Amino acid sequence: MRLFACDNCDQVVHFDNRHCVRCNCRLGFLPDDLSMHALEPSSDDVWHLVARSDRQVRFCANAGLDICNWLIDDDEAGGFCIACRHNRLVPNTGSVDGVARWRRISQAQRHLFYSFLRWHLPHPDRQQDPTGGLVFDFLEDTVQSDGIVVPAMTGHEEGLIAIRAAEADDLTREQARASMNEPYRTLLGHFRHEAGHFVWNKLVRDRNGFEGFRAVFGDDRQDYSAALQTHYSNGAPLGWQESFISAYAASHPWEDFAECFAHCLHIVDTLETARAFGIATDPRGHHEMATEVDFNPYKAGSAKQLVDAWVPLSVAINAIQRSMGQPDSYPFILSLPVVAKLEYMLQLIQAAGVEPSQAAA
């Protein structure tokens, strides 16, 4: 993620800020230039950019509950920003906790969309693509008459991404993480993984890219539900670390792809953040662990370029986390077969990029 600057006073501004901490200007994110902007009121609910007074904008309809800080054009129909317009079912807003959950979910969702927009990845909605467009349901758990809580399921089916809203609560998510024996579980990770299934539909299946996909990930025609059943009964095969990024990735080629897509976003986004802060490492006496992100990770020439910068950086971040008594930020190992999968992923994503004007088509 980039760092931004307040148009009014040049203070450093972050992706999720609502106001500038120095000049107190209202801030909003404009998806068409992927930047935060300082705003001045024009008239009822209409604002203009401090830097460009002729640019009239409104906040996304979800700004009302302070869910979203993205902007739309003043004359844009629908009222929702380019991310929120994909929402179908949203979490309960009848309680303070419910609103707080949705706020955290929406933050992760917009972070996902930032990467989609950076790469110009297609993201048709259900009006543009009624059977396979991207749509989100944020699902509440149900409580049976005997009081037993039935968790909502996170998953993907034909462009519909379901996210269990309760995972926005730390307690619930950590319980799920521990019970599944996972090293990493976040809302952002869920969005990136499930979006990977959507991307597979659009960029591999719908473009008949099976041959290239199967050469790297294996044959996806093996029975998917049987494969998951085997994974949950027996766990991942011994030695999965040699060819897969996670145990779950070993369950089926579709899951492997979704995991690799998520990791591609983890790595590229975090490298961009490191670059924005000018973070470089150069451990004394260990120059092989030196790194500096001196390239735009969204335009990386190869997975090797990403990984060469990422490994030393992630090792340093993990060490800093341990110094604070926190778990590793990136508890994963990138084996050579995984780097080959990331190479395929990077090429697929970069070749798929369409110009912004066509991104919704």
Write out the residues near Zn ion by the rule CB under 5 A.
Answer: 6, 8-9, 11, 20, 22-23, 25, 60, 62, 68, 70, 81, 84, 255, 258
CB of 229 to Zn ion, least distance (A): 15
From 218, 251, 245, select the one nearest 334 (Cα to Cα): 245
Report, in Å, the least distance between residue 76 CB and Zn ion: 12
Strand, helix or coil for residue 111: helix
Shortest CB 16 distance to Zn ion, Å: 12
Q: How far is the CB of 114 from Zn ion (least distance, A)?
A: 12
Q: Which is nearer to Zn ion, 84 or 342 (CB)?
A: 84
Q: Could you give the residue ranges of the DSSP H alpha helices within the chain?
A: 96-119, 170-179, 187-199, 210-217, 224-234, 253-277, 303-323, 336-352
Choice between 23 and 311, CB closer to Zn ion: 23
Task: State how far the alpha carbon of 352 is from the alpha carbons of 34, 160, 215, 219, 293, in Å.
Answer: 19, 21, 19, 22, 24
Q: How far is the CB of 69 from Zn ion (least distance, A)?
A: 8
Give the β-pairing of 160-164 and 135-139: parallel
| Nearest-approach distance from CB 145 to Zn ion, in angstroms | 31
**Using CA atoms, how far apart are residues 346 and 260, in angstroms rounded to an integer?**
10
Helix (H, G, I), strand (E, B) or coil at 95: coil
Tokens 């972070």 sit on residue: 111
The residue behind tokens 């719908």 is 206
C-beta closer to Zn ion: residue 23 or 188? 23
**Complex with Zn ion: residue 37 or 118, whichever CB lies closer:** 37
Query: Measured from the CB atom, is 187 or 300 closer to Zn ion?
Result: 187
Task: Please answer whether residues 122 and 202 qualify as being in contact, where contact means their C-beta atoms are separated by less than 8 angstroms.
Answer: yes
Nearer to Zn ion, 262 or 316 (CB): 262
Q: How far is the CB of 95 from Zn ion (least distance, A)?
A: 21
Under 8 Å between Cβ of 18 and 27: yes
Output the CA–CA distances (angstroms, integers) from residue 194 to 49, 199, 243, 330, in the order listed.
Answer: 35, 9, 21, 19
For residue 53, the surrounding DSSP H or E stretch is strand 52-59
Nearer to Zn ion, 118 or 192 (CB): 192
Q: Where does residue 161 fall: left (phi above 0), alpha (psi -120 to 50 degrees), or beta otherwise?
A: beta
